Chains A and B, each alone.
Chain A
Amino acid sequence: MTVSEWPKQAVSWFDERLPVFTFMQHELNEYPTPRNLSYWWNFGSLAGIVLVVMIATGIVLAMHYTPHVDMAYDSIEQRIMRDVNYGWLMRYVHLNGASMFFLLVYIHLFRGLYYGSYKAPREVLWWLGIILLLLMMMTAFMGYVLPWGQMSFWAATVITNLFSAIPLIGDQIVTWLWGGFAVGNPTLNRFYSLHYLMPFVIVGVVMLHLVALHMHGSNNPLGIDRKEERDSIPFHPYYTIKDALGLGVFFIVFAVFVFFAPNFLGEAENYVRANPFQTPAEIVPDWYFLPYYAILRSITFDIWFIPAKLIGVTAMFGSLMLLFALPWLDTSKVRSARFRPIYKQVYWVFVVDCLVLGWVGANRPEGHILIIGQVATAYYFLHFLVLMPLIGWFEKPRPLPDSISKAVLERPAPPAEAGTGGAE
Chain B
Amino acid sequence: MMRRGILAALSAAVIGLGVGASVSAAEFEAPPLQDWSFSGIFGAYEKASLQRGFQVYREVCAGCHSMKLVAYRNLSALGYSEKEVKAFAAEAEVTDGPNDDGEMFPRPGLPSDRFVPPFANDQAARAANNGAFPPDLSVLTKARYRRMGWEGSDYIYAVLTGYHDEPPADFQEKYREEQKKKNKDREEKDKKEIKDFQVAEGMNFNLYFPGYQIAMPPPLADDGVEFADGTKATVKQMAKDVTTFLAWAAEPEMEERKRLGIKVILFLLVLTGLLFALKRKIWADLH
Contact = CB atoms under 8 A, between A and B. Distances in A.
A264 interface: yes
Contact of A358 (B16, B258, B271): B16
B107 interface: no
A255 B268 contact: yes
Interface string A208-246: 000000000000000000000000010001100110110
A272 B252 CA distance: 18
A245 B272 contact: yes
A379 interface: no
A296 interface: no
Contacts of B9: 348, 351-352, 355
A308 to B, nearest CB: 21
Nearest to A418: B3
Contacts of A284: 20
A187 B67 CA distance: 28
B142 A242 contact: no
Interface string B1-27: 111010011001101110111011110
Instruction: Please report whether the interface of chain A is mostly helix, strand, loop or mixed according to DSSP.
Output: helix
A355 B252 contact: no
Nearest to A354: B9
Given A241-B279, A423-B283, A77 B264 contact: no
Interface in B263-287: 264-265, 268-269, 271-272, 275-276, 278-280, 282-283, 286-287
Given A82-B252, A268-B143, A269-B143, A252 B272 contact: yes
Interface string A243-271: 01100110110011011101110001101
Contacts of B19: 359, 362-363
A418 B282 contact: no
A5 interface: no
Contact of A82 (B13, B74, B280): B74
Contacts of B8: 348, 352
A28 B207 CA distance: 62
A259 B279 contact: no
B152 interface: yes
Interface centre among A362, A363, A364 (most CB of B within 10 A): A362
Given A77-B69, A241-B279, A241-B282, A424 B253 contact: no
B30 to A, nearest CB: 15
Interface in B199-249: 210
Contacts of A238: 282-283, 286
Contact of B265 (A259, A269, A287): A259
A336 B175 CA distance: 55
A114 interface: yes
Contact of A271 (B12, B142, B147): B142
Given A77-B69, A241-B282, A271-B143, A348 B265 contact: no
A352 B24 CA distance: 25
A271 B139 contact: yes
B41 interface: yes
Interface in B137-154: 138-139, 142-147, 152
A361 B68 CA distance: 35
B261 interface: yes
Interface in A260-291: 260, 262-264, 268-269, 271-273, 281-282, 284, 287, 290
B257 interface: yes
A35 interface: yes
Contacts of B136: 273
B153 to A, nearest CB: 12
Contact of B279 (A245, A252, A367): A245
B185 interface: yes
Contacts of B260: 89, 259
A248 B268 contact: yes
Nearest to A364: B23
Interface centre among A255, A273, A367 (most CB of B within 10 A): A255
Contacts of A269: 143
Given A251-B268, A268-B146, A271-B143, A244 B280 contact: no
A81 interface: yes
Nearest to B136: A273
A2 B143 CA distance: 60
A355 B258 contact: no
Contacts of A248: 268, 271-272, 275-276
Contacts of B145: 263, 268
Contacts of B142: 263, 268, 271
B37 to A, nearest CB: 16
Given A77-B69, A268-B144, A256 B265 contact: yes
Contact of A281 (B25, B264, B268, B282): B25
Nearest to A349: B5
Interface string A350-375: 01100110110111100100000000
Contacts of A81: 253
A88 interface: yes
A78 B253 CA distance: 12
Contacts of B147: 264, 268
A7 to B, nearest CB: 26
Interface in B33-62: 41
A409 B286 CA distance: 9
5 contacts: A35-B286, A82-B69, A248-B272, A264-B147, A417-B1
Q: Top 3 closest A-B pairs, CB basis?
A: A362-B20, A259-B261, A248-B272
Interface of A: 35, 74, 77-78, 81-82, 88-89, 92, 114, 233, 237-238, 241-242, 244-245, 248-249, 251-252, 255-256, 258-260, 262-264, 268-269, 271-273, 281-282, 284, 287, 290, 344, 348, 351-352, 355-356, 358-359, 361-364, 367, 409, 416-419, 423-424
Given A264-B147, A268-B142, A282-B23, 19 more contacts: A78-B68, A81-B253, A88-B257, A241-B278, A252-B268, A256-B261, A259-B258, A259-B262, A260-B258, A268-B144, A281-B26, A348-B8, A355-B16, A359-B19, A362-B19, A363-B23, A409-B287, A417-B2, A423-B283
